[in-house]
Chain A
Amino acid sequence: MKATFRIWRGDGSGGVFKDYATDVAEGMVVLDAIHRIQAEQAPDLAVRWNCKAGKCGSCSAEINGSPRLMCMTRMNALKIDQPVTVEPMKAFPQLRDLVTDVSWNYRVKKTIKPFTPKPPDAADGTWRFEQRDADRVQEFRKCIECFLCQDVCHVLREHSLHEQFIGPRFLVYAAALEMHPLDAGDRVGDLEAAHGIGYCNITKCCTTVCPENITITDNAIIPLKERVVDRFYDPLGRLLRVIGVT
């Protein structure tokens, strides 16, 4: 069975879609087809990948316009009577072919206050907390940093507000720290100001594309927004803080 892949070839200065026809077999994923094309027809085709099992988040791309992991997109989920379009993520600068420059994400992470543990609460110098307290942050810590949520977020993708807004990935990261049972750090001020949480208007596109099914908007972003509102926009709370009650 043949399928045609319409793959974006080019770099930061521009590029074109090129068609490659290749055999597809039962159970294949898009990344398999890309590899076959690379081995047989386009040896210099640039693609980033690692685990090929949906665990490392390297092979993010847009397949027929949807942000997805190439290793977890099975061919039988796609219509192959027409060309399958594969192109790089749009929210980041293009490097070559399917590879984008995602270094901005690494710079952003550095700006978030790191984990700051509270003093150990058990006699043996460690901590005790229950599984139900772990559950909430374990959901966020499933994140494989594929940056598909960043790619689909219109604040980044369409408005390019990369300098004002950290994007859903790092709101999830901040939430994992803020809700961490052992963390004593405070990131609420940063979220409101430097991290630009207000730019998110909860369209939930990020939640839709998350390959780890993290409920990004409802479980991470909205609770953080509530903390910001309580701190900065609740008149009674502000008054109490001004007079030093809290």
Chain B
Amino acid sequence: MTDYQTFDHDVLVIGAGGAGLRAAIEAAAAGVTVGLTCKSLLGKAHTVMAEGGIAAALANVDDRDNWRVHFADTMRGGQYVNNWRMAELHAREAPERVRELEAWGAVFDRTPDGRILQRNFGGHRYPRLAHVGDRTGLELIRTLQDRAVHAGIDVHMECTVVTLLMDSGRVAGALAYDRERGRFRIFRARAVVLATGGVGRGYKITSNSWEYTGDGHALAYRAGADLIDMEYVQFHPTGMVWPPSVRGILVTEGVRGEGGILVNSEGRRFMFDDIPEAYRAQTADTEEEGWRYTQGDKNARRPPELLTRDHVARCIVGEIKAGRGTPHGGVLLDISWIAKRLPNAAEHIRRKLPSMYHQFKQLADIDITREPMEVGPTTHYIMGGVRVDADTQMSSVAGLFAAGECAAGINGANRLGGNSLSDLLVFGKRAGEHAARFAREWPSASVDSRQVEDASRQALAPFDRGSNGKNPYAIQEQIQEAMQNLVGIVRVEDEMRQALAEIDRLRTEAAQAGVVGHREYNAGWHTSIDLANLLLVSEAIARSAIERRESRGGHYRDDYPQKDPAFGRVSIAVRRGGDGEMQVVQEPIPPVPAELASIIEEMK
């Protein structure tokens, strides 16, 4: 195997966003050797895009907050199909993870008495998001990155994993290629942590970058792990819509947290028109009350713009479909109106939302302190992913762990804004800790050279077909079209069946993809390798969405628009069957223990 560079690590972490970095730091602290691979340069992962903040019940701004309220909010937001144990651990441990970040050098915005400031966000009862203006993700990733580089972790940048290597049912490492030279690398490891993020690249309109092709989901599936909740895709209500080239870029929920309102083309603030029953008691009756809430009045209730993302996204789609959208197919998000309420409003907006100000000014010629933004839903996040044990984050495959977006459970049917960054920290840490323990307790596994040869031959096949092969970019675009149009925000069975047929057809095309040029930094080649993962997760989403014949959270069926209590008791799981076909099964969700159930009841 002379063509391969080989690396030995006790724990291999795949992905260097918040979850991967936090896992790597924890594993290294436990005294094992750690390798960390990332598709991009270190510090560029999608965590950097997170804007609004980290949800943690620190109770710095409102002392009524505590982990129990955060737990209940997370379960309510997830429509009660969350993994209750993950929701519990997350709510209990998030405050400590945030304080730890500060101890590692993160500089959060401050309260007047000098503590970490927290802001309002959709679905969170109290101001709960620790933040740094609207660039919290950058602060988080940089703090972790700077910590990691002094922790003795071997970082392999621009290195993409193509397959996990298995040894009689347990994970033994991974095969990867480096972008720079296009050479293969064998990673031998006793435990592997998947922290690869999401699948947004499967959709045409997305806030995600090229990296998010469902790699961890697909790697785990092929290794024999279960994926659950794949039908729950989060369409963030506010992405940019104009100009076309920026369509999908995220507009932080923080805009609404600071008082921004949603208005249709008739000038109506439509979010007051449809308030779900589960949130009625917590939602403002009047615009006046909503405004007071955003300004910290503890006796006021939240404005309807801060309802959960699934609901707000559907309301926006409803307005657009009813012909009350903007000419570019969005609605208006207005923060400039606060000038009527606040002195120095423009300066206030620039200080609280600096990167939004910058983004609109530079990309759309819009000054958000003076005029409204045009926004519409954008594919943002997937709640579904690898089924893991709540406490250890290990999947159903021995030695294979998953954390962050590629793992499922914490968010149920819909994720609350701000719960992602805290998820990364809480479960990244747990994954790192337990992967290290696994690595210490288990003997080393052996790498099967046949698996390596097979996978590398398959990865190189597009070069053999050269310019006679199909254009990988065109295939990727067709996957995105199919998922956007047929398995998007509003779903019906017929269309999803069409999507499956299209996925089948595109899988045949992808098997004929060809690339030209050399192996060094060849984007066409990388795209051709990513196609298989995109197709796999697209199929998992479509099949799971067909199976769930009800509407819940991020999953909305036009042919089954109501919630069905029977479906509220099951998760949809997909796994690879013996024949290689994707199996879809309904599995009961473990009941919430009485103590936690009473918290949920109490907070209803």
Contact = CB atoms under 8 A, between A and B. Distances in A.
Q: How large is the interface on A (under 10, 10 to 19, 20 to 34, 35 or more residues)?
A: 35 or more
Contacts of A48: 40-41
A44 B364 contact: no
Nearest to B181: A95
Contacts of A110: 149-150
Given A72-B363, A106-B42, A137 B107 contact: yes
Contacts of A129: 110, 114
Interface of A: 11, 25-29, 32, 38-40, 43-58, 72, 74, 95-97, 99, 101-103, 106, 109-110, 114-115, 117, 126-131, 134, 137-138, 141-142, 144-145, 177, 180-183
Contacts of A106: 41-42, 149, 155, 157
Contacts of B42: 106
Nearest to B114: A128
Contacts of A50: 40, 44-46, 48, 209-211
A50 B474 CA distance: 20
Contact of B515 (A32, A44, A115, A182): A44
A27 B245 contact: yes
B604 interface: no
B318 interface: no
A47 B210 CA distance: 12
A48 B39 CA distance: 11
A51 B41 contact: no
16 contacts: A25-B245, A26-B244, A27-B242, A39-B471, A50-B46, A50-B210, A51-B44, A54-B355, A55-B138, A72-B363, A106-B149, A109-B146, A114-B105, A127-B102, A134-B107, A182-B105
B362 A54 contact: yes
Contacts of A11: 520
A51 B523 contact: no
From A46, A58, A74, name the one whose CB has the most chain B CB atoms within 10 angstroms: A46
Contacts of A115: 104-105, 146
B518 interface: yes
A99 B178 CA distance: 14
B397 interface: no
B522 A46 contact: yes
B362 A27 contact: no
A160 B450 CA distance: 46
A130 B135 CA distance: 19
B103 interface: yes
B521 interface: yes
B78 interface: no
Nearest to A43: B524
A51 B40 CA distance: 11
Interface string B99-140: 100111101111001110100000000000000110101110
Contact of A32 (B44, B102, B209, B245): B245
A34 to B, nearest CB: 10
Contacts, number: 169
A110 to B, nearest CB: 5
A49 B210 contact: yes
A138 B132 contact: yes
A97 B521 contact: yes
B115 A57 contact: no
B563 interface: no
Nearest to A12: B520
Given A95-B521, A183-B105, A114 B41 contact: no
Contacts of A142: 135, 138
Contacts of A141: 107, 132, 138-139, 142
Contacts of B242: 27
B521 A53 contact: no
Interface string B362-402: 11100000000000000000000000000000000000000
B246 interface: yes
A53 B378 CA distance: 14
Given A39-B474, A110-B149, A29 B520 contact: no
A44 B473 CA distance: 11
3 interchain residue pairs of minimum CB distance: A27-B243, A44-B517, A128-B114
A130 B473 contact: no
Given A43-B516, A96-B520, A141-B132, A53 B250 contact: yes
Contacts of B244: 25-27
A46 B521 CA distance: 6
B43 interface: yes
A46 B181 CA distance: 12
Contacts of A52: 209, 246, 249
Given A44-B525, A54-B362, A114 B146 contact: yes
Given A25-B244, A43-B522, A55-B137, 18 more contacts: A26-B244, A27-B242, A27-B243, A38-B473, A39-B474, A43-B517, A44-B515, A44-B516, A47-B523, A50-B211, A54-B355, A54-B359, A54-B362, A55-B138, A56-B43, A117-B105, A128-B113, A145-B43
B522 A27 contact: no
Contacts of B364: 27
Interface in B251-276: none
B66 to A, nearest CB: 15
A142 B108 CA distance: 12
Given A43-B472, A55-B48, A130 B110 contact: yes
B191 interface: no
B573 interface: no
A231 to B, nearest CB: 23
B62 interface: no
A99 B521 contact: yes
B49 interface: yes
B523 A114 contact: no
A77 B294 CA distance: 38
A134 B524 contact: no
B44 A56 contact: yes
B464 interface: no
B499 to A, nearest CB: 22
A138 B110 contact: no
B40 A128 contact: no
From B139, B146, B250, B474, name the one whose CB has the most chain A CB atoms within 10 angstroms: B146
